[in-house]
């Protein structure tokens, strides 16, 4: 069963009524396509990297915590970094302990941010899937509330508030370009827009979870690596996102690491937006012509995260 739009609306109402200081209404920046060197009428940049915790993940993680009774042992999550940061920030907001399991590929900048938020950080395994298994074992010991990085209804509903916010700020764009790892973001976005906007899934060639699932006809494990693996490093598309994307997402496109890096540096040099590689896939799709826009289109790019080492932009 796919996510219902009323779940997203209810989530946004909860944020507005009690947590507007924590979940920010991030800016929607509209620019002529020619400013970005692409042939479309307008490009909308949804600046979600300015969200609490530096990524869209804050929406889903806070909703997960608010929707459940929190045990004395607090919350626990496995993450490449961003979901962990968001969970730790939400746990601090609500005054409960937080334990985060991250793989060895997680960046030093993200680990440092986790520690600064007061989380207990466990570095284990080569990839996200390894950290998840260790996290699940620990959760059985402690009874902490498990927050999944991308495959829980509350998490998708939280991510969906980003799409609702886009519509409230600017209307319905012709297309929305969305980075995909485990699928929490695209699951929420596509659940909100449904068929009213063309939602396009974007993945690195070296982390093609949705692309390979479509080839196989079902979610399958894939090898993941590359420039965005710490953010888009899930080895299998989430079951909820799989259902939503089968219903509402026609296009699943792959991008080279080189094009992602070029777009990341362009965002910094030309627009002074310091974002991580995962946040640059949408621009990379436009600038490399993997997504070919019509000249009259309004295309929304979700700039999803900013947890990076600033030195990497040099």
Residue 39 sits in the same domain as residue 186: yes
CA distance 245 to 251: 9
Does the reported pTM lie above 0.85?
yes
To 10 degrees, what angle do helices 239-248 and 184-193 make? Answer: 40
Angle, CA of 268, 272 and 276, to the nearest 5°: 45
Residue 119 sits in the same domain as residue 16: no
Residue 50 sits in the same domain as residue 63: no
Domain boundary (128, 146, 164) is at 146
Give the number of other Cβ atoms within 10 Å of residue 10's Cβ: 15
- Token pair 């695209």 in the structure block, residue: 186
Domain boundary (127, 146, 165) is at 146
Residue 138 sits in the same domain as residue 200: no
For residue 80, give its domain range: 57-146
Residue 176 sits in the same domain as residue 302: yes
CA distance 106 to 175: 31
Counting the structural domains of the chain, the total is: 2
Residue 98 sits in the same domain as residue 236: no
Domain boundary (120, 146, 172) is at 146
Residue 267 sits in the same domain as residue 279: yes
* CATH number of 250's domain: 3.40.50.1100
Q: At a CB cut-off of 8 Å and minimum separation 6, what does 292 contact?
A: none
The pLDDT profile of the chain, 314 residues, written as one tens digit per residue, is 467 899 999 999 999 999 999 999 999 999 999 999 999 999 999 999 999 999 999 999 999 999 999 999 999 999 988 999 999 999 999 999 999 999 998 888 889 999 999 999 999 998 888 999 999 999 999 999 999 999 999 999 999 999 999 999 999 999 999 999 999 999 999 999 999 999 999 999 999 999 999 999 999 999 999 999 888 988 999 999 999 999 999 999 999 999 999 999 999 999 999 999 999 999 999 999 999 999 999 999 999 999 888 889 98
Residue 128 sits in the same domain as residue 163: no
CA distance 310 to 240: 34
Residue 255 sits in the same domain as residue 307: yes
Residue 159 sits in the same domain as residue 201: yes
Residue 240 sits in the same domain as residue 257: yes
Residue 158 · residue 188 · CB < 8 Å: yes
Residue 52 sits in the same domain as residue 66: no
């Amino acid at each position: 069963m796919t996510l219902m739009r009323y779940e997203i609306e209810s989530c946004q109402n909860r944020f507005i009524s009690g947590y507007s200081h924590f979940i920010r209404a991030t800016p929607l920046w509209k620019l002529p396509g020619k400013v970005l060197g692409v042939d479309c009428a307008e490009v909308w940049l949804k600046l979600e990297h300015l969200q609490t915790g530096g990524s869209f993940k804050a929406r889903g993680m806070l909703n997960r915590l608010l929707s459940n009774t929190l045990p004395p042992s607090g919350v626990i999550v496995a993450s490449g970094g961003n979901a962990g940061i968001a969970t730790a920030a939400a746990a601090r907001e609500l005054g409960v302990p937080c334990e985060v399991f991250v793989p060895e590929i997680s960046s030093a900048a993200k680990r440092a941010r986790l520690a600064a938020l007061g989380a207990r950080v466990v570095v284990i395994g080569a990839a996200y899937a390894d950290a998840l298994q260790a996290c699940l074992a620990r959760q059985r010991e402690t009874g902490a509330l498990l927050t999944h990085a991308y495959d829980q209804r509350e998490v998708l509903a939280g991510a969906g508030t980003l799409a609702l916010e886009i519509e409230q700020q600017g209307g319905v764009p012709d297309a929305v370009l969305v980075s995909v790892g485990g699928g929490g973001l695209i699951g929420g976005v596509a659940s909100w827009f449904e068929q009213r906007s063309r939602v396009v899934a974007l993945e690195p060639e070296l982390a093609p979870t949705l692309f390979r699932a479509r080839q196989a006809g079902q979610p399958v494990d894939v090898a993941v690596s590359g420039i965005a693996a710490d953010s888009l490093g899930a080895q299998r598309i989430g079951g909820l996102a799989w259902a939503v994307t089968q219903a509402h997402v026609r296009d699943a496109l792959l991008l080279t690491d080189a094009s992602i890096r070029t777009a990341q540096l362009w965002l910094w040099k030309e627009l002074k937006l310091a974002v991580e590689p995962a946040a640059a896939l949408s621009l990379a799709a436009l600038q490399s012509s993997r997504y070919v826009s019509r000249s009259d289109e309004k295309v929304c790019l979700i700039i999803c995260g900013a947890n990076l080492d600033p030195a990497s932009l040099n």
